[in-house]
Amino acid sequence: MIYLELFLQFFHIGLFSYGGGYATLPFLFHIAEVQKWYTAKQLTDMIAISTITPGPVGVNVATFAGFATSGLLGALVATTSIILPSYILVIIISKLLEQFKTNKNVQAAIYALKPAGCGLLAAVGIDLFVSNANIWGMVLLGILFFISTKQKRDPLFYLGVSAIAGLAAGYMHLIS
């Protein structure tokens, strides 16, 4: 039953990803490896598209992954189930706001969750870096990195530059 599996996978992402939309990515790459519903390459394309389309990146990627797995209904199931834990938790927290803010155990958990989410994301970055390690890719990354040290730019700017660089590289037959 693919829809039940989709529901369970995306519900667990919604429940365990800490640190916003990008924090869902380690889980989505893990799914690519284990469930093989889509490939890591497809997921990378999805992330790029999700960044240039309206809406929170996490929602975009979930919709995309669900669609890739089993069409429109899959997209609906994935998107609903990634949001559902947030919905339930936020409603509960809204009702118990003071307890939530002052509970020592809750605060201690959050304190440790954020660096963990960050560590997971760094691991994804390194994985992608290694799997893309060809000479022209590294040249492009070096250029992007250099730009970022000069001035703070919007994510869209970096994607725009890399799309143009990709077109140029394709035109010059630098990539196979």
Partner 1 sequence: MDKSFYTIFKTFFKVGTLLLGGGYVILPLLQSELVDKKGWIDSDGLCEYYALGQSVPGIIAANMSIFVGYKLRGQIGALAAVLGIVSPAFLTIVLLASILEEIVHLSFIQSIFWGVGIGVIMLLYLATKEMWNKSIIDKFTCIIFFASFILSACFKVSPALIIILSIIAGIIYRKKHQDSVGEKILRECKDDLS
> Per CB under 8 A, which of residues 30..89 are in contact with partner 1?
30, 33, 41, 44-45, 47-60, 63-64, 67-68, 72, 75-76, 79, 82-83, 85-87, 89
Residue type at 154?
A: D
Of these, 4, 111, 149, 150, which contacts partner 1 (CB under 8 A)? 111
The number of residues that bind partner 1 (CB under 8 A) is 103
Q: Give the closest residue to 35 by CA, choosing from 59, 60, 63, 66.
A: 66
Of these, 3, 5, 70, 127, which contacts partner 1 (CB under 8 A)? 127
Burial state string for 127-141 with b = 16 or more CB within 10 A and e = fewer than 16: ebeeeeeeeebeebe
At its nearest, how many Å lie between partner 1 and the CB of residue 68? Answer: 7
Tokens of 153: 């730019």
**Residue labelled with tokens 């995306």:** 10
At its nearest, how many Å lie between partner 1 and the CB of residue 41? Answer: 8
